[in-house]
């Protein structure tokens, strides 16, 4: 058993606080910038430095808006009773599924404006996005939020700001599977070129599978035997399998290439 006593604030400047959760977004942004530049230098993407900055700006807006809007599904009273809470990003409360929808919409919009291949861009961003999501779950753990289900096992954690019960550190489980998926996506990225969308749909499929499993260890409201996150994840899995079969003629774990 371990009692959670981590401070979510890195530095308190008086007029502002630097938090681990906010730092994750900064690291994710710059890692994505570096990765897109790397792929451009390798000739795998045809983007100028200016286009990369513009593209990431669109994605940043997409993830902030989408993740916040979808958070209403999880905490409707918090946001509907006080709409100003939508703008308090430093407190956490960012829906993965909403962020994903926001990124897809913003990315598609930008690619359409610039006549870029959306699926190729989605493939390129899959790896840094998954890595940032893994860091995000670590930040969630530091914040002491998204607590797990009751458990008295060896590595259970007590979150005093929530209650005195010992629980699964479900956010660390989520960080763990996302790190594994990051390595899988890296492996795919350095292999011979796949058909457009293959890496992205692997991202969607494995994230859906991981989230579906980990939610059994996360304290969430149940709807028809599953959490909201699990229902969304089922949709992700079904769509990913269908499009992987359609676009590449393979399942999500196949090594076959065009």
Number of structural domains found in the chain: 1
Residue 214 tokens read as 């980990």
Please state, in angstroms and as integers, the Cα–Cα distance from residue 5 to each residue in 19, 160, 165, following that order: 15, 8, 14
For residue 232, is it within any domain?
yes
What confidence category does residue 99 fall into, taking pLDDT thresholds of 50, 70 and 90?
A: confident
Residue 86 lies in a domain: yes
> Is residue 258 one of the residues assigned to a domain?
no
Q: Is residue 69 part of a domain?
A: yes
Q: Is residue 144 part of a domain?
A: yes
Contacts of 142 (CB under 8 A, 6+ apart): 6, 7, 8, 20, 21
Indicate the pairing of strand 2-3 with strand 157-158.
parallel
Range of the domain at 164: 2-248
pLDDT band at 254 (very low <50, low <70, confident <90, very high): very low
Q: What is the pLDDT of residues 187-223, one digit of tens each?
A: 999 887 788 999 999 999 999 999 999 999 999 889 9
- How far is residue 205 from each of residues 34, 47, 51, 123, 179, measured CA to CA in Å? 25, 27, 28, 13, 15
Q: Note whether residue 257 is domain-resident.
A: no
Q: Are strands 9-12 and 17-19 parallel, antiparallel or unpaired?
A: antiparallel
Residues 111-143 have pLDDT tens digits of: 999 999 999 999 999 999 999 999 999 999 999
At 158 the three-state DSSP class reads: strand
pTM summary value? 0.86
Q: Which residues pair with 17 in a beta bridge?
A: 12
Coil, strand or helix at 148: strand
Residue in this structure with the two tokens 């229902």, named with its chain if needed: 231
Give burial (CB, 10 Å; 0-12/13-18/19+) of 246: exposed
Whether the per-residue pLDDT at 95 is higher than 50: the answer is yes
Write out pLDDT tens, residues 18-70.
889 889 889 999 999 999 999 999 888 989 999 999 999 999 899 888 887 77
Q: 254 in a domain, yes or no? A: no
Q: Please check whether residue 16 lies inside any domain of the structure.
A: yes
Confidence of residue 80 (pLDDT cuts 50, 70, 90): low
In the three-class reduction of DSSP (H, G, I as helix; E, B as strand; rest coil), residue 11 is classed as strand
Alpha helices in the chain (DSSP H): 20-41, 49-70, 76-80, 96-114, 118-143, 170-190, 198-214, 228-248
Query: Cα–Cα distance between 71 and 86 in angstroms, integer?
Result: 9
Q: Are 168 and 174 in contact (CB under 8 A)?
A: no
Rounded Cα distance, 214 and 186, in Å: 22
Task: Give yes or no for a contact between 104 and 110, defined as CB atoms under 8 angstroms apart.
Answer: no
């Amino acid at each position: 058993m371990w009692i959670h006593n981590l401070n979510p604030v890195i530095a308190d400047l008086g007029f502002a606080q630097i938090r681990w959760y906010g730092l994750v977004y900064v690291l994710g942004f710059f890692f994505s910038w570096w990765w897109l530049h790397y792929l451009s230098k390798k000739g795998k993407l045809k983007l100028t430095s200016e286009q990369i900055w513009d593209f990431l700006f669109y994605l940043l807006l997409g993830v902030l808006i989408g993740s916040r809007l979808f958070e209403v599904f999880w905490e409707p009273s918090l946001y509907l009773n006080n709409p100003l809470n939508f703008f308090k990003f430093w407190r956490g409360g960012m829906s993965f599924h909403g962020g994903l929808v926001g990124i897809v919409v913003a990315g598609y919009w930008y690619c359409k404006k610039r006549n870029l291949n959306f699926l190729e861009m989605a493939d390129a961003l899959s790896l840094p996005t998954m890595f940032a999501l893994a860091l995000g779950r670590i930040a969630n753990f530091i914040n002491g939020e998204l607590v797990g289900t009751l458990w008295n096992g060896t590595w259970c954690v007590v979150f005093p700001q929530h209650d005195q019960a010992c629980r699964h550190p479900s956010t660390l489980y989520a960080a763990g599977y996302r790190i594994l998926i990051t390595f899988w996506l890296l492996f795919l990225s350095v292999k011979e070129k796949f058909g457009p969308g293959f890496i992205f749909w692997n991202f969607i499929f494995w994230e859906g599978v991981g989230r579906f499993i980990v939610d059994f260890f996360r304290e969430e409201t149940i709807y028809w035997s599953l959490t909201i996150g699990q229902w969304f994840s089922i949709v992700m899995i079904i769509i990913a399998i269908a499009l992987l079969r359609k676009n590449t003629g393979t399942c999500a774990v196949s090594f076959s290439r065009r």
